[in-house]
């Protein structure tokens, strides 16, 4: 089952920070790393992210479970570059017909894989330590986001766990009707695509009904809204964002000093 509930220790120093501050720090840290293509800067960034993880109150095993989809994306990047990369420079490591693996290909793949992890991990950490309701309240109070957007995003987050349940229900219903791919990989792919399409249709219908219900209950009213839980933006939250800027700059500076910096736009 997909879970969006926070898994961090509530008394962890960085887990208690304002949700908007955590999102801002994650965005600053992640987007700064997009400026380079080398593997050194994202590797340093990943090391820094793992080093501060205890301050967020998250166990490494929990983070590994939540970041499991990143491993699949990393494998996809590696296979794609090995098969279709234009740059085949460097020493040839494997030459098997259409598959040509060189040190240049592996270096490029390593850089992209590390960038994926370095950019995505801050988001994983933020949402693993933030209650969706607190995030919506903070967006309205601190980021001055429209209530319609914030509450709609909260409703969408709350519906995420239902996707896993509905996928399982659709699969079980089809299996009960005798629709099973067996060991045929092509049939499995077709069944996966049809199940995903059915899930998409169901999600659109549920979202439409929810939007109509929210409008009927006045969520789109122009009158000022009150908040039940105050979200305070303190000096510690500012320091969190500043710390993210400093750490990202340190990763890029180290890459420049080592001579491995490869700008995204040259």
Query: pLDDT by residue (tens digit) across 192-223?
Result: 888 889 989 988 898 888 888 888 877 766 67
Number of domains in the chain: 2
Structure tokens at 220: 């789109």
What confidence score (pLDDT) does residue 23 get? Answer: 93
Residues spanned by the domain of 37 = 8-130+234-266
> Is residue 13 located within the same domain as residue 122?
yes
Average pLDDT score, the chain: 84
The CB density around residue 115, as the number of other CB atoms within 10 Å, is 24
Q: Say what the pLDDT of residue 161 is.
A: 78
- For residue 136, being part of any structural domain is answered with no
Shared-domain flag, residues 72 and 177: no
User: Which is nearest to 131 in space by CA: 160, 169, 157?
Assistant: 157
Highest-confidence range of 142-156, 171-185, 244-258, by mean pLDDT?
244-258
Whether 56 and 119 map to the same domain: the answer is yes
pLDDT attached to residue 266: 62
* 181 lies in some domain: yes
pLDDT tens column, 161-189: 788 888 888 888 888 888 777 778 888 88
- The mean per-residue pLDDT over the stretch 38-67 comes to 89
**Which tens digit of pLDDT belongs to each residue from 62-81?**
888 888 888 888 888 877 87
In this structure, the answer to whether residues 123 and 31 fall within a common structural domain is: yes
String of DSSP letters for 10-59: TT-TTTTS-HHHHHHHHHHHHHHGGGB-SSHHHHHHHHHHHHHGGGGT--
- Is 154 among the domain residues? yes
Report residue 1's pLDDT band, with 50, 70 and 90 as the boundaries.
very low
- Residues 67, 104 share a domain: yes
Q: Are 149 and 103 in a shared domain?
A: no
Asked whether residue 105 falls in the same domain as residue 179, the answer is: no
In a domain, 138, yes or no: no
* pLDDT above 50: residue 241: yes
Does position 9 have pLDDT exceeding 60, yes or no? yes
Q: Which residues contact 247 (CB under 8 A, 6 or more apart)?
A: 29, 45, 48
Interval 75-88 mean pLDDT: 75
Shared-domain flag, residues 103 and 173: no
């Amino acid at each position: 089952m997909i879970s969006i509930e926070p898994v961090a220790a509530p008394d962890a120093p960085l887990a208690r920070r304002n949700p908007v501050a955590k999102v801002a720090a994650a965005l600053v840290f992640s987007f700064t790393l997009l400026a380079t293509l080398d593997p050194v800067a994202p590797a340093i960034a990943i090391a820094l992210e793992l080093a501060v993880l205890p301050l967020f109150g998250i166990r490494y095993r929990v983070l590994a479970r939540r970041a499991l989809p990143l491993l699949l994306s990393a494998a996809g990047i590696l296979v794609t570059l090995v098969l279709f990369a234009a740059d085949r420079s460097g020493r040839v490591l494997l030459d098997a017909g259409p598959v040509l693996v060189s040190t240049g290909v592996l270096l490029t793949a390593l850089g992209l894989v590390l960038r994926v992890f370095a950019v995505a991990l801050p988001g994983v950490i933020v949402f693993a330590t933030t209650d969706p309701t607190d995030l919506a309240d903070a967006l309205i109070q601190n980021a001055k986001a429209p209530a319609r957007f914030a509450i709609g995003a909260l409703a969408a987050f709350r519906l995420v766990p239902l996707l896993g349940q509905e996928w399982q229900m659709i699969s079980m219903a089809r299996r009960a009707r005798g629709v099973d791919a067996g060991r045929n990989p092509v049939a499995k792919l077709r069944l996966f695509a049809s199940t995903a399409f059915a899930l998409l249709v169901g999600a659109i219908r549920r979202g439409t009904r929810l939007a109509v219900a929210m409008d009927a209950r006045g969520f789109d009213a122009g009158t000022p809204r009150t908040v039940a839980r105050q979200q305070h933006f303190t000096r510690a939250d500012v320091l969190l964002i500043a710390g993210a800027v400093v750490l990202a700059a340190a990763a890029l500076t180290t890459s420049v000093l080592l001579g491995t910096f490869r700008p995204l736009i040259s």
